[in-house]
């Protein structure tokens, strides 16, 4: 069975090799998606939409369970206020349902930022444009195909930050 989505069409047009993985059951977690795709959770790259104060939008590609640091993102964008896009805004701006968003095959042109953490990955998986599915491709092809603004947009992991503080206080 071949499934065609705007994402797979865009990848085909760009000549990028990929594997489409459709999950047999609804996804409940990042961990489940990674396991069923044969990947580490860090290789699942989430495509997140944010609304800036001047009513423009920006996509942020974030590796695995990492969270976006609001202060870092605001600083990079040069704005004092951003919000997470609503489900309706996600559909309107990207053409995709929440959870299926991809930087490929977007319905309109949009600025795309990527956290530097994806540079450490050889293989990545992104939304496939349909629910409960992902496309798997080489990081090299992702970087070659898209005009990404790379930056440090991730929040430090609380556990490592707490351990670092504990180690410093022992000195």
Phi, psi of 159 (to 5 degrees): -60, -45
Q: Which H or E element spans position 133?
A: strand 133-138
Beta-carbon contacts of residue 145 (< 8 Å; ≥ 6 apart): 14, 16, 104
The CATH number for 86's domain is 3.90.960.10
- Number of domain units in the chain: 1
d(CA 114, CA 3): 27
Q: Does residue 171 sit within a domain?
A: no
Pair of tokens at residue 38: 């044969």
By residue range, what is the domain housing residue 21? 6-156
Please write the tens of the pLDDT for every residue from 88-106: 999 999 999 999 999 999 9
User: Per-residue b/e over 5-37, b at no fewer than 16 CB within 10 Å?
Assistant: bbbbebbeeeebebebbeeeeeeeeeeebbebb
Q: Is this model's pTM higher than 0.95 or not?
A: no
Q: Does residue 116 sit within a domain?
A: yes
Handedness of CA 35, 37, 39, 44 (dihedral sign): negative
Pair of tokens at residue 80: 């004092």
Give, for all 171 residues of the chain, the pLDDT tens digit.
458 999 999 999 999 999 999 999 999 999 999 999 999 999 999 999 999 987 899 999 999 989 999 999 999 999 999 999 999 999 999 999 999 999 999 988 999 999 999 999 999 999 999 999 999 999 999 999 999 999 999 986 554 444 444 444 444
Q: Does residue 167 sit within a domain?
A: no
């Amino acid at each position: 069975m071949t499934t065609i989505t705007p994402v797979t069409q865009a990848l085909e047009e760009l000549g990028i090799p990929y594997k489409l993985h459709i999950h047999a059951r609804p996804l409940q977690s990042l961990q489940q998606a990674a396991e069923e795709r044969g990947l580490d959770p860090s290789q699942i790259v989430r495509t997140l939409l944010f609304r800036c104060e001047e009513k423009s939008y920006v996509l942020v590609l974030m590796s695995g369970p990492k969270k976006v640091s609001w202060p870092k993102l605001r600083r990079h964008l040069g704005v004092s206020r951003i919000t997470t896009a609503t489900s309706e805004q996600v559909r309107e701006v990207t053409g995709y349902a929440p959870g299926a968003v991809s930087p490929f095959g977007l319905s309109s042109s949009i600025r795309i930022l990527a956290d530097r953490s994806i540079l450490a990955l050889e293989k990545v998986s992104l939304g496939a444009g349909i629910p409960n599915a992902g496309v798997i491709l080489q990081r090299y092809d992702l970087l070659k195909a898209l005009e990404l603004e790379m930056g440090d947009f991730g929040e430090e992991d609380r556990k490592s930050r707490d351990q670092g503080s504990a180690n410093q206080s022992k000195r």
